[in-house]
């Protein structure tokens, strides 16, 4: 599971800067992209080594007026969308967590449990990367090693707290069916991790999680140490550093995605039930009443990340996948949630159906989706996965997708923040 999300302004020009990191064949070099607000840049060619970047412009225009002796302000024209290098992390990572800190830096934590599955050439053993952390500083455009977790951990909850700290809870240990009940807190000022006073009521892996309006953290569902799917939920109070049980979900669910809505309620979608079958139902948790309620049903079980939209609704990104029965790559539609009507609506399809792409909300409310796997097939050597460097942008005003400039190289299964 992976999770996804500032803005730089100058006069009338608005730009968004975000980092994108992930598996890129033999390497995982981070990138930073700047999305201009002018006309969309043409899409770049897609290939095994990526497409070319759109040219950037550093020219400025100065205007003067004979009616005033004061110099007129210098206006910088909007640049077309483009990608630029943003250094390299200390270790390669796949399916990890990337969180934007309050001081503008980004914290990369851990790696997925057996995330690479042999598909990323040169990826180091799990034990060398899963507990380590790196910090990206946009002021220097560089990474440095940060204090890491004491033990390997994957499929955990990671949330930025209102006081600037980061909380990490639950998740798998190195061995299958071993889950953590402990909670770690990262202090970005001190650069250190400490263990919270209280333990969770249940050790749980792969829960849905979100930050509540009062600063507490909700964890719902997941699996326990016996790999049993859970319906129970609990909240973490960062002040007391303790957990308390809240109402359980109506049914068991693990691997779901959650997002806090503008209303203060938490939307939970997808995941799987006790039989392992995927779920297309959605739920709402109301922290004011402490109750769960239905949030409608999607047309298909969602298999991608969920993004909050400017109107208070959400977009679930539909991903591509290999059908195990037909051995064909199948596409799933993205769907939009209306919190007022509690309904889901399909939106236009992306040009390329992707698995594990990079997703980030842009400052203007649009959604960037880049990279990912776009095909899988079998040959005499086994399973072959085709990755893309292409990128697309979803416009909530038109419910449609448009191409933007491709990344310089193909990659998937990373994370992105704005």
Per residue in 269-296, pLDDT (tens digit) is 999 999 888 899 999 999 999 999 999 9
Token output for 211: 């930050």
Per-residue pLDDT averaged across 43-49, rounded?
A: 29
User: What's the pLDDT at 186?
Assistant: 95
327 backbone φψ class: left, alpha, beta (φ>0; ψ -120 to 50): left
Is the pLDDT assigned to residue 50 strictly greater than 50? no
Task: Give the gyration radius of the chain's Cα atoms.
Answer: 22
- Paired sense of beta strands 306-308 and 314-316, if any: antiparallel
Domains (ranges, CATH) in the chain? 8-52+78-100+112-126+200-417 (2.120.10.80)
Residue with the larger pLDDT of the pair 210 and 376: 210
For a pLDDT cut of 70, what percent of the chain falls above it? 74
Contacts of 122 (CB under 8 A, 6+ apart): 26, 27, 92
Q: Is 407 helix (H, G, I), strand (E, B) or coil?
A: coil
Q: How deeply is 88 buried, as exposed, middle or buried, from its count of CB atoms within 10 A (0-12, 13-18, 19+)?
A: middle
pLDDT in tens, 80-100: 778 888 888 887 777 688 899
Handedness of CA 38, 39, 45, 48 (dihedral sign): positive
In angstroms, the CA 150 to CA 145 distance is: 15
In angstroms, the CA 67 to CA 69 distance is: 7
Handedness of CA 10, 16, 19, 20 (dihedral sign): negative
Is the pLDDT assigned to residue 190 strictly greater than 60? yes
């Amino acid at each position: 599971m992976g999770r996804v999300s500032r803005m730089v302004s100058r006069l009338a020009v608005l730009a968004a800067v975000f980092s994108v990191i992930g598996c890129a064949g033999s390497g995982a070099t981070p990138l930073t992209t700047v999305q201009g607000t002018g006309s969309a840049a043409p899409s770049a060619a897609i290939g095994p080594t990526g497409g070319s970047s759109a040219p950037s412009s550093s020219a400025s225009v100065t205007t003067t007026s004979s009616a005033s002796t004061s110099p007129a302000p210098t206006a910088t024209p909007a640049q077309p969308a483009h990608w630029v290098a943003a250094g390299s992390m200390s270790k390669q990572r796949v399916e990890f967590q990337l969180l934007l800190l309050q001081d503008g830096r980004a914290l990369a934590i851990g790696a997925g449990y057996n995330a690479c599955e042999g598909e990323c050439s040169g990826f180091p053993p799990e034990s060398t990367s899963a507990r380590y952390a790196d910090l990206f500083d946009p002021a220097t455009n560089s990474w440095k090693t940060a204090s890491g977790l004491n033990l390997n951990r994957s499929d955990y909850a990671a949330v930025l707290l209102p006081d600037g700290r980061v909380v990490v809870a639950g998740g798998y240990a190195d061995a299958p069916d071993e889950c953590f009940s402990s909670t770690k807190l990262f202090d970005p000022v001190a650069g250190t991790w400490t263990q919270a006073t209280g333990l969770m009521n249940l050790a749980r892996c792969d829960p849905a999680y979100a930050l509540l309006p009062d600063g507490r953290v909700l964890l719902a569902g997941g699996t326990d140490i016996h790999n049993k799917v859970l319906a129970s939920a609990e909240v973490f109070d960062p002040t007391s550093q303790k957990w308390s049980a809240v109402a359980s979900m109506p049914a068991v669910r693990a691997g779901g995605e959650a997002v806090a809505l503008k209303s203060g309620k938490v939307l939970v979608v997808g995941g799987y039930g006790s039989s392992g079958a995927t779920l297309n139902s959605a739920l709402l948790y109301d922290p004011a009443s402490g109750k769960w309620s239905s949030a409608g049903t999607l047309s298909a079980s969602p298999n991608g990340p969920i993004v909050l939209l400017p109107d208070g609704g959400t977009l679930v990104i539909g991903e591509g996948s290999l059908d195990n029965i037909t051995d064909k790559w199948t596409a799933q539609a993205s769907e939009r949630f209306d919190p007022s009507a509690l309904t889901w609506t399909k939106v236009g399809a992306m040009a390329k159906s992707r698995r594990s792409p990079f997703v980030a909300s842009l400052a203007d409310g649009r959604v960037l989706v880049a990279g990912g796997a776009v095909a899988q097939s079998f040959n005499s050597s086994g399973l072959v996965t085709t990755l893309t460097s292409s990128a697309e942008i979803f416009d909530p005003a038109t419910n449609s997708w448009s191409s933007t400039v491709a990344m310089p190289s193909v990659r998937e299964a990373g994370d992105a923040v704005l």
